[in-house]
C-alpha cells in the first residue's frame, strides 16, 4: 500500500525564526522544485542532481523572487519516506513560509496531513509501526531519559525483540497445522516439550515487557511524586524549595492548601512531576474534605509518595500517619519516602535516635526515612539522590526494552493472556487445532504492535496525533 501524491508541509516549528524548512515528498517533488527554483550556479537542474546534495539559489514565482534558499536532495528509495524528497531551507518569516507553500500547491503538490511523511515511511517499509510511534515520542520527549528510550525504540530495539518471538512461534504453528493435515495418521511434527520450553521463555519475555510499562509510562509523562502529610508539615514549603520559586502559598494557618498543585522538575535527565496535596486531618469543612479526598486519590496514582512528618510531632502521631499512607498504596511498585521535616527545631542526636529505620517496624527495606529542613533547604540534595534511587536507572542505561506506549502495553497484556492459555492447553494435552488458535492470537497481538497486522482505523488514530510536517 503506497501513495504517489506529492505532499508538502512546513517541518520546523510554527512562528518566526532564523530558518524554516519546507519538506516536499512524492513522485513530482523534483519536477515541481525545478519549476520554482533557480540555482545560483548554472548547470544541471534538480532532477539531474546527485542524491544527498545541497544547492543554493532563489525561489521564484515566475519573474518574482520570493527568497534565497538552500535545496537538499534525497532520492528514492534512500530517503526518510522512501520517496523522492526535497527540503527547502528558507528564511523563517511566516509570510515567506506561506508564500512557498502556496507556490508548491499551485504547481501540483498538496498540503500534507498530520504525520503523513512518517506514515509514508511506514507504508513504504522504511520503518515498522512501533518505530513510527517512537518518532512522535522522540519529538515530544522532555527529558534525557525519555529521549533515550524513544531513540532506542526508533532504532528498532523493541521491534527486533518482538519479531524474534513471532518467528519462533510461527515455526511451531506451521508444524502444528501440518499435523492437522495428517490428523488421520496420528503423527507429531511439533515437539510438545520444545513448545513448552518456548512458551515459558516467551511468557517470561512478555511479562518483563508488560511490567516495564510502569517505568516507561512514568519516564514518558514524568514520574508522579505525591507530597502528603498532616497540615502544616511543610509540604508547600518543600515544593517551593524543590522548584526554587514560590509556587504554593505557605501559611501557619491549618488547611491552607485545599487543592492539588503540580509542577515538574528535571533531575539528571529524569522528569519528576511533584504534586503538593491538601493536608490530612479531621475537619468539618466540606471544601477541605474534598481536598483531602483528592489527596488520597493522588497518593494512589503516584509512583513515589513523600510523606512529610513534623520532627516535633509525637511518635504515635507519626506512626499513625505512616500506617495511614501505607494502607492507601495499591501497588508493590509504589515507593514511600518518610521525610522528617523541620530538623532545625531538634538536635541531631534526638533526630538520629527517634528516626532510625528500626524505630518504624511498619516500614519495609524498600522504604526510606530522610531528615530535612525544607525552610532552610537542608539535605535536599539527599532527597533528590533518594528520588533517583527509586527509578530503575540501570534499565534505562542498558539495552533493555522499556514499553512507554499504552497501545503496546494493551497488546502485550492481551498476548500474555493468550500465551497463558497456550501453556494451560499444553498441560491439559488439548488438540492441536485449539493450540493453534491460541498461538494465532499471540501472533496477532504481537504483530499489531509492529504493524504486521494493522487496520486503517489503527493507523488513523496513531498518525492523527503527529505534528504536520513529520
Binding residues: 23, 87, 126, 232-237, 251-257, 276-279, 470
Other Cβ atoms less than 10 A from the Cβ of 71: the count is 23
Query: Nearest to residue 337, comparing CAs of 310, 316, 364?
Result: 364
Cα–Cα separations (whole angstroms), residue 345 to 239, 273, 311, 312, 359: 20, 29, 7, 7, 20
Query: Nearest to residue 386, comparing CAs of 373, 360, 368?
Result: 368
Query: Nearest to residue 130, comparing CAs of 120, 141, 122, 139?
Result: 122
- What does the DSSP 8-state code read for residue 407? H
Run of H or E including 58: strand 53-61
- What does the DSSP 8-state code read for residue 343? G
SS3 277: coil
Query: Nearest to residue 308, comparing CAs of 349, 279, 274?
Result: 279
Query: What residues contact 385, with CB distance under 8 A and at least 6 apart?
Result: none
Reported in sequence order, the residue ranges of 62-141 that DSSP labels E, i.e. its strands, are 64-74, 85-92, 110-111
SS3 211: helix
Cα–Cα separations (whole angstroms), residue 32 to 4, 38, 58, 108, 348: 14, 12, 14, 7, 76
Query: What residues contact 53, with CB distance under 8 A and at least 6 apart?
Result: 72, 73
Residue that has been written with the C-alpha cell 528514492 in this structure:
76
Contact 45, 75 (CB under 8 A): no
Annotated binding residues for (6S)-5-formyl-5,6,7,8-tetrahydrofolate, written as ranges, equal 23, 87, 126, 470
Cell of 348: 541531631
Helix axes 432-450, 406-427, angle to 10 degrees: 170
- What does the DSSP 8-state code read for residue 110? E
Annotated binding residues for GTP, written as ranges, equal 232-237, 251-257, 276-279
Annotated binding residues for Mg(2+), written as ranges, equal 236, 257
Annotated binding residues for K(+), written as ranges, equal 232, 251, 253, 256
Cα–Cα separations (whole angstroms), residue 291 to 74, 230, 237, 303: 57, 13, 18, 20
Torsion on CA atoms 176, 182, 185, 190, rounded to nearest 10: -20
Determine phi and psi for 348, rounding to 5 degrees. -60, -40
Amino acid at each position: 500500500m503506497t501513495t504517489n501524491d506529492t505532499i508538502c508541509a512546513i517541518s520546523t516549528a510554527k512562528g518566526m525564526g532564523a530558518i524554516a524548512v519546507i519538506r516536499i515528498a512524492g513522485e513530482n517533488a523534483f519536477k515541481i522544485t525545478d519549476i520554482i527554483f533557480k540555482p545560483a550556479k548554472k548547470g544541471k537542474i534538480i532532477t539531474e542532481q546527485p542524491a544527498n546534495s545541497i544547492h543554493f539559489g532563489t525561489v521564484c514565482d515566475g519573474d518574482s523572487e520570493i527568497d534565497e534558499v538552500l535545496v537538499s536532495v534525497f532520492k528514492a528509495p534512500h530517503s526518510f519516506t522512501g520517496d523522492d524528497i526535497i527540503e527547502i531551507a528558507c528564511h523563517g518569516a511566516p509570510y515567506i513560509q506561506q508564500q512557498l507553500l502556496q507556490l508548491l500547491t499551485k504547481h501540483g503538490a498538496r498540503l500534507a496531513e498530520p504525520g503523513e511523511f512518517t506514515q509514508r515511511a511506514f507504508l513504504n517499509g522504511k520503518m515498522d509501526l512501533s518505530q513510527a510511534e517512537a518518532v512522535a515520542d522522540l519529538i515530544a520527549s522532555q527529558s534525557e531519559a525519555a529521549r533515550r528510550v524513544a531513540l532506542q525504540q526508533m532504532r528498532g530495539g523493541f521491534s527486533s525483540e518482538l519479531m524474534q518471538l513471532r518467528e519462533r512461534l510461527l515455526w511451531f504453528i506451521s508444524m502444528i497445522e501440518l499435523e492437522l493435515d495428517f490428523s488421520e495418521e496420528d503423527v507429531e511434527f511439533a515437539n510438545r516439550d520444545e513448545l513448552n520450553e518456548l512458551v515459558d521463555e516467551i511468557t517470561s519475555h512478555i511479562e518483563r515487557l508488560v511490567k516495564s510499562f510502569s517505568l516507561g509510562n512514568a519516564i514518558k509523562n514524568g514520574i508522579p511524586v505525591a507530597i502528603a502529610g498532616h497540615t502544616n508539615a511543610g509540604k508547600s514549603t518543600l515544593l517551593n524549595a524543590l522548584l526554587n520559586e514560590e509556587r504554593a502559598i505557605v501559611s501557619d494557618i491549618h488547611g491552607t492548601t485545599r487543592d492539588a498543585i503540580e509542577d515538574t522538575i528535571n533531575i539528571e535527565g529524569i522528569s519528576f512531576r511533584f504534586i503538593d496535596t491538601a493536608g490530612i486531618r479531621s475537619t468539618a469543612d466540606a471544601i477541605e474534605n474534598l481536598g483531602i479526598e483528592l489527596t488520597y486519590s493522588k497518593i494512589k496514582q503516584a509512583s513515589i509518595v513523600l510523606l512529610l512528618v513534623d520532627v516535633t510531632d509525637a511518635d504515635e502521631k507519626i506512626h499513625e500517619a505512616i500506617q495511614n499512607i501505607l494502607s492507601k498504596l495499591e501497588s508493590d511498585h509504589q515507593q514511600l519516602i518518610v521525610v522528617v521535616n523541620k530538623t532545625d527545631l531538634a538536635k541531631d542526636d534526638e533526630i538520629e535516635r527517634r528516626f532510625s529505620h528500626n524505630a518504624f517496624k511498619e516500614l519495609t527495606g524498600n522504604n526510606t526515612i530522610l531528615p530535612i529542613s525544607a525552610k532552610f533547604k537542608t539535605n535536599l540534595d539527599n532527597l533528590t539522590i533518594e528520588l533517583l534511587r527509586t527509578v530503575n536507572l540501570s534499565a534505562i542505561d542498558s539495552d533493555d526494552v522499556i514499553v512507554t506506549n499504552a497501545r503496546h502495553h494493551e497488546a502485550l497484556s492481551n498476548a500474555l493472556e493468550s500465551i497463558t492459555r497456550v501453556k494451560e492447553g499444553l498441560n491439559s494435552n488439548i488438540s492441536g487445532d485449539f493450540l493453534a488458535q491460541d498461538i494465532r492470537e499471540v501472533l496477532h497481538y504481537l504483530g499489531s504492535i509492529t504493524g504486521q497486522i494493522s487496520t486503517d482505523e489503527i493507523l488513523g488514530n496513531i498518525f492523527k496525533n503527529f505534528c504536520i510536517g513529520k
